[in-house]
Structure 1
Amino acid sequence: MIALDVADLDVWFGHGEDRVDAVRGASFSVEKGGSFGLVGESGSGKSTVLRAITGLAPAWSGSIIVNGKPLGATRDRTFYGTVQMVFQDPYASLHPRHSVDKVLNETLRLHGIRDTNRRIPELLEQVGLGPSFRFRYPHQLSGGQRQRVAIARALAPEPSILLLDEPTSALDVSVQAEILNLLTDLRRERGLTYVMVSHDLSVVGHMTEKVAVMKGGEIVEVMDVAAMRAMTPSHPYTRHLLEASLGYKRAG
């Protein structure tokens, strides 16, 4: 079963002479329980694709289908109960004056979940944080702990699809592996579907089964991670990215 199907997606900003086409003709699909990566250099359009799916980039055309349901111009509570997003910067995505309890309480109530006193400790436990973190504020947390709270917030409505926008790039290298392992465990335990944006090919290779390579707003290649590891891309730009990530150019 296809959890997410994106076809001929165009996303733009501005109008007339000021129009900027950020994504052009992007198409890909992700099977239920699968993990799909979008990679490319800064400005390639990969994060804009996620924003179009969530409704944060309102000017778009094409087709976006979630669990067999085509999306229109707006997103309702049902959509956000199915699809949630984890952003790049865990500090910017959390209100500095809201405690962890308030962040999770508001999210749960927004989705019609009233049993918050039971659910909040469960959510914190699921992301590896104990009850002592419940009434802390973002400035009292490390970067990794803040991202765990952001993941708990995304899990609150029990979605089936998580969109991950560079979820570890703002973290120290020592913490990145912990968050990636947490996301891997959550996907396995909950049968989640992931779409992950990253500029780091090693992260995508670890987390996903298929990868779309973006350049200048277009998907130039969709490949299996096995082909990526074997250095057998079909597009020269993909080869350039792979060689750059390894730090050398293969002979031959």
Structure 2
Amino acid sequence: MNDAISIQNLNVWFGEHDDLFQAVKNATISVSEGASFGLVGESGSGKSTILRALTGLAPQWEGQMSVNGIELSHKREKHFYKTVQMVFQDPYASLHPRQSVDQVLSETLTLHGFRDIDDRVNRLLLDVGLGPEFRFRYPHQLSGGQRQRIAIARALAPEPKILLLDEPTSALDVSVQAEILNLLCDLRAEHGLTYLMVSHDLAVVAHMCERAAVMRNGEIVEIIEVADMRAGKTTHDYTAQLLHASANRVA
């Protein structure tokens, strides 16, 4: 099976001169087409920075990154965003408070050259478990889970094949988190999507992914099969600590 995402020896920096900080060090991962791959570790370990580098939001990087066999340069062309979309952590911050759901989705569809906007907006809302009655609501009229569903619908609008998921449930109530994770599982199966998912929560990764890279201080310390994670089989002490800390939730 072909790799949807390939990252080789990725290094990412922030800041400049004396304030230069290396956030990712020699990271190498590959994600097969149709797979779901997790990046897991504590806050500040570099997980989200890898997603930012992929999408062009972290411009100071070296190494090789490719999507569907096409090597990425430091500039992202428009067609890249028809293939790759990102769902951010905070649904409260990622939607414009003065734009209705209709505006959010219609503008995205128009930007990517679609014409049958009305039908597509309604279809996207149904895809994420909402109905047309949500079309003209504003973010303040939606719950956190509903906002995240709209954010997912916006990401699906260009018909991408790859979704980057940056802690997509961590800002939500526990009761809503499972609903969103199950929705993402369903959408992956229905649309043949590839996921690269960041989470600090091993239970989430175990639910969503087949493989995961464990990160610590900007480095990947282990790449582990989720089946081995569930069985407590690990080759690195840090992974063992993470597993022990969440043992009652990963099984």
**2:8 matched to which residue of 1?**
7
- Give yes or no for the alignment of 1:211 onto 2:212: yes
2:111 aligned residue: 110
Q: Does 1:176 align with 2:208?
A: no
Q: Distance in 2 between matches of 1:93 and 1:108?
A: 17
Q: Which amino acid aligns with 1:224?
A: E
C-alpha deviations, 1:80-139, integer Å up to 9, x for none? 000000000001000000000000011111111121111000000000000000000000
5+ long unaligned stretches in structure 1: none
What's the secondary structure of 2:79's corresponding residue?
A: helix
Match for residue 29 of structure 1?
A: 30
Deviation sequence 1:196-252 (CA, Å, 0-9, x none): 00001000000000000000000000010011011110011100111111269xxxx
Q: What does 1:1-252 correspond to in 2, within 5 Å?
A: 1-246=2-247
For residues 223 and 247 of structure 1, the distance between their equivalents in structure 2, rounded to whole angstroms, comes to 19
Q: Secondary structure of 2:91's match?
A: coil
Q: Which amino acid aligns with 1:157?
A: P
Output the CA distance in 1 between the equivalents of 2:248 and 2:184: 27
Structure 1's 247 and 183: CA in aligned 2 closer, same or farther, altered over 3 A?
closer
- SS state of the match for residue 220, structure 1? strand
Secondary structure of residue in 2 paired with 1:77: coil
* Letter of the 2:186 counterpart: D
Amino acid at match of 1:5: S
1:184 aligned partner, one-letter code: C
C-alpha separation in 2, matches of 1:181 and 1:201: 16
Q: What secondary structure does 1:75 align onto?
A: coil
- For 1:130-149, what per-residue CA distance to the aligned partner results, in whole angstroms no more than 9, with x for missing partners? 00000000000000000000
Identity of aligned residues (%): 68
Paired AA for residue 163 in structure 1: L
1:77 positional shift: 1.4
1:247 and 1:122 map into 2 onto residues whose CA distance is 39
| Partner SS, residue 118 of structure 1 | helix
Find the aligned partners of 2:16 and 2:142 in 1 and give their Cα distance.
42
Instruction: Report the secondary structure of 1:240's partner residue.
Output: helix
**Runs (5+) with no aligned partner, structure 2:** none
Q: How many residues align?
A: 248
What is the identity, as a one-letter code, of the residue corresponding to 1:95? H
TM-score, with length taken from structure 1: 0.97
- Taking the aligned partners of 2:110 and 2:58, their CA distance within structure 1 comes to 25
SS in 2 for 1:91: helix
Residue type matched to 2:58 in 1?
Answer: A
1:36-79 superposed Cα distances (whole Å, 9 cap, x missing partner)? 00000000000000000000111111011000000001111110
